[in-house]
A and B are shown apart, each in its own frame.
Chain A
Amino acid sequence: MVDYDERLDATGLNCPLPIIRAKKALAGLSSGQVLEIVATDPGSVKDFEAFTRQTGHSLLESKEGDGVFTYLIQKA
């Protein structure tokens, strides 16, 4: 279990809102800090992988349980 500095609840939101809210939340963190995102959009799995690959942030963790997706992203 990795600690996080901030948590974003993106449950119930559909594409592209989870990514856009995550981008906003990451802007408020400093380099090295970790954002936890909770989402219910199944498309967000691929989208967060693509988002982190393109923006240089690190996707530390991506997991699913009971229809809820949890991501840990470390700011570059």
Chain B
Amino acid sequence: MDTTSNTKKMALIATKGTLDWAYPPFILASTAAALDYEVSVFFTFYGLQLLRKDLNLKISPLGNPGMPMPMGMDKWFPVAGTALPGMEAMMTSMMKSKMKKKGVASVEELREICIESGVKLIGCQMTIDLFDLSPDDFIDGIDYGGASTFFEFAGESDVSLFI
């Protein structure tokens, strides 16, 4: 690694595997790359879901009182209602259609932009072993490593965030 260059660097840790939480790491990483940052993202625990070939991310209103509910649904379905069967699928599809309508990129699109612009994606090897996942489940071109792999680039970064 060229430590004499003036290139700014950003290191992210992505720990969450829901549709809503997939956005912050991919938005920040793609934008930082557009601003000429060198970016690495370390995906650990549920964050590894974001590296799957077939993204099947969902959003859950359960335990998320900050989530705006359409049509006053928070009045009709207080807390217990968010646990009803089918609620997750319904909220996921409503969120996806809202995002499309508002011109928000899909997670797949943002991830593709990250890869195209040279963002380094690193999967946590320990999580893969822990959950008996297979590298075949994940997209090509990602590296695997552990905490010290993260520190190798995080230690030299200008921005480091845990998401």
Contact = CB atoms under 8 A, between A and B. Distances in A.
B113 A55 contact: no
Contacts of A12: 103
A41 B103 CA distance: 9
Nearest to A40: B103
A23 B27 CA distance: 14
A20 B103 contact: no
Contacts of A31: none
B35 interface: yes
B35 A55 contact: yes
B80 to A, nearest CB: 34
A16 interface: yes
Contact of B35 (A14, A40, A41, A54): A54
B92 interface: no
B113 A20 contact: yes
A19 interface: yes
Nearest to B28: A16
A60 interface: no
Contact of A19 (B34, B36, B103, B104): B34
A15 B57 CA distance: 20
Nearest to B31: A16
A55 B36 contact: yes
A69 interface: no
B105 interface: yes
Interface string B113-151: 100010000000000000000000000000000000000
A36 B31 CA distance: 20
A23 B103 contact: no
Contacts of A16: 27, 30-31, 34, 105
B34 A51 contact: yes
Interface of A: 12-17, 19-20, 22-23, 40-41, 51, 54-55
18 contacts: A12-B103, A13-B105, A14-B103, A14-B104, A14-B105, A15-B27, A16-B27, A16-B31, A16-B105, A19-B34, A20-B113, A20-B117, A22-B34, A23-B34, A40-B103, A51-B35, A54-B35, A54-B36
